[in-house]
């Protein structure tokens, strides 16, 4: 049972591996398997039939002819003997010698045929008969049909005649029967071939149709599955996790495989593109030196916050920060040190603000913080906190540094430009007021 299952699984696997054309070719192939032995059988049968026809042509027909001939010749001999006796002419007896020779010749010619036994028997019987006939005829003529032993002699002659006559006739009959038998066997063979040929053709036709139907259904089912799968994949959002199911290993399987490979490639490309987009996006809104937002992003954020102000009446504040005496650092220690100071500055601000605040670089040594939902006081305290942190911080190379803070809180009339202007004015005042301080302006 297990073995059979294994064999069936193996066969199914082989079937799935075949190409569609080959699958359809299965039907005629099965037919071939069925028909081939039959053709061999028919071929052998034809050989046999040919042999029997040859037999009839080569042996039986001439044999039949000579057996007819022999009977005629025997009749002739009988007539000649009879007329010799009737006419009382001893010399006439010898006239039948040539006919007797013909009979012997006829018999001799086929002494090697399949009727060897009969022909040999006939040969002996004929010789026997002919000898007796000659002797008895001569005696009858000489004694004018009246001598002591005549009854016995004629009896023997009659016996011999009947024997040879019977033999010749039975040979003829036998040959006739054999010929009939041969033709009958030809007829039977032909019938057999025709009948079985029809039968095998029917079976072949049935099996072919069945196989084609099965293969057709199978392929139809597979195509339907592929179509359904692809529809499912095509529908809804892009989902690169979905794949087509491999239904077989033929051309359909190849198509499915190719589509799957294509989906794989798309998936990979998509991921790469997504990553690249993320990088690009961050590059677009980030200041490359300090890793905080650049002006593009900050402008956007301010716009959004102003809209929120209008929609929800959420107050927001903007803090502008300027590093005090930064030009001096650049002049004294060079631009590289300046850059590192800016970096440290950005990190310090980022660490010190709340999570909801947005930190950006406004240009040069100026930074900006957008504080959503933060009013003047909140912004002031945050700025004050930052200011003290910076004051305490020890920067590399340059040591202690301070910064000035300008704060503006948005009102209903403000736009992006005015709020920045306000903050800038505040910063200006803080600078003017001696730096390292927080100033609010509205």
Among 145, 202, 254, 396, binds other proteins (CB under 8 A): 145
By CB under 8 A, which span of 160-168, 174-182, 290-298, 370-378 interacts with other proteins? 160-168
Residue 81 as a binder of other proteins (CB under 8 A): the answer is yes
Residue 72 as a binder of other proteins (CB under 8 A): the answer is no
Measured from the CB of residue 44, what is the shortest distance to other proteins in angstroms? Answer: 48
Residue 142 as a binder of other proteins (CB under 8 A): the answer is no
Measured from the CB of residue 120, what is the shortest distance to other proteins in angstroms? Answer: 22
By CB under 8 A, which span of 161-169, 209-217, 287-295, 309-317 interacts with other proteins? 161-169
CB burial of 344-355 (b: ≥16 within 10 Å; e: otherwise) equals bbbebbeebbee
Helices (H) and strands (E) in the chain, counts: 13, 7
Among 3, 91, 151, 413, binds other proteins (CB under 8 A): 151
Structure tokens belonging to residue 403: 């910064």
Among 108, 142, 162, 177, binds other proteins (CB under 8 A): 162
Per the CB < 8 A criterion, the answer to whether 70 and 168 are in contact is: yes
**Cα–Cα separations (whole angstroms), residue 109 to 89, 337, 349:** 33, 135, 135
Measured from the CB of residue 76, what is the shortest distance to other proteins in angstroms? Answer: 11
Measured from the CB of residue 69, what is the shortest distance to other proteins in angstroms? Answer: 19
Per the CB < 8 A criterion, the answer to whether 318 and 423 are in contact is: yes
Burial of 370 (0-12, 13-18, 19+ CB in 10 A): buried
Residue 155 as a binder of other proteins (CB under 8 A): the answer is yes
- CA nearest neighbour of 226 among 257, 193, 194: 257
Among 1, 21, 146, 234, binds other proteins (CB under 8 A): 146
Measured from the CB of residue 122, what is the shortest distance to other proteins in angstroms? Answer: 16
CB burial of 8-20 (b: ≥16 within 10 Å; e: otherwise) equals eeeeeeebbebee
Chain residues that interact with other proteins, rule: CB under 8 A: 78-79, 81-82, 85-86, 88, 133, 136, 140, 144-146, 148-155, 157-158, 161-162, 165
């Amino acid at each position: 049972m297990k073995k059979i299952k294994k064999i069936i699984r193996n066969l199914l696997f082989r079937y799935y591996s075949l190409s569609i054309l080959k699958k359809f070719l299965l039907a005629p192939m099965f037919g071939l398997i069925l028909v081939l032995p039959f053709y061999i059988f028919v071929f052998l049968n034809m050989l046999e039939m040919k042999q029997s026809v040859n037999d009839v042509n080569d042996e039986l027909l001439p044999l039949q002819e000579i057996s007819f001939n022999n009977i005629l010749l025997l009749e002739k001999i009988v007539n000649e003997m009879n007329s010799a006796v009737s006419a009382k002419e001893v010399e006439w007896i010898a006239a039948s010698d040539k006919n007797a020779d013909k009979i012997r010749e006829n018999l001799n010619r086929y002494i090697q045929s399949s009727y060897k036994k009969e022909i040999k028997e006939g040969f002996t019987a004929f010789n026997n008969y002919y000898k007796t006939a000659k002797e008895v005829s001569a005696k009858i003529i000489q004694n004018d049909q009246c001598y002591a032993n005549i009854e016995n002699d004629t009896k023997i002659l009659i016996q011999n005649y009947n024997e040879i006559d019977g033999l010749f006739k039975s040979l003829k009959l036998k040959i006739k029967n054999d010929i009939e038998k041969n033709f009958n066997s030809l007829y039977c063979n032909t019938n057999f071939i025709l009948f079985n040929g029809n039968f095998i053709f029917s079976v072949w036709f049935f099996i072919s149709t069945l196989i084609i139907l099965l293969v057709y259904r199978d392929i139809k089912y597979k195509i339907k599955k592929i179509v359904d799968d692809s529809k499912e994949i095509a529908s809804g959002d892009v989902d690169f996790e979905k794949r087509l199911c491999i239904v077989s290993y033929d051309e359909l399987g190849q198509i499915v495989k190719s589509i799957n490979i294509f989906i794989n490639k798309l998936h990979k490309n998509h991921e790469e593109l997504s990553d690249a987009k993320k990088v690009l996006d961050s590059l677009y809104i980030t200041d490359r030196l300090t890793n905080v937002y650049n002006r593009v992003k900050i402008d956007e954020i301010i716009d959004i916050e102003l809209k929120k102000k209008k929609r929800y009446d959420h107050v927001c504040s903007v803090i502008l920060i300027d590093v005090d005496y930064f030009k001096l650092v650049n002049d004294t220690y060079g631009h590289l040190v300046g850059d590192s100071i800016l970096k440290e500055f950005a990190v310090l601000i980022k660490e010190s603000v709340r999570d909801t605040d947005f930190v950006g670089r406004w240009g040069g040594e100026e930074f900006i913080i957008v504080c959503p939902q933060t009013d003047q006081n909140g912004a002031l305290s945050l700025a004050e906190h930052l200011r003290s942190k910076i004051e305490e911080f020890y920067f590399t190379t340059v040591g202690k540094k301070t910064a000035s803070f300008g704060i503006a809180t948005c009102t209903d009339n403000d736009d992006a430009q005015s709020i920045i202007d306000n903050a800038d004015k505040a910063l200006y005042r803080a600078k003017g007021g001696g730096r390292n301080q927080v100033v609010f302006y509205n």
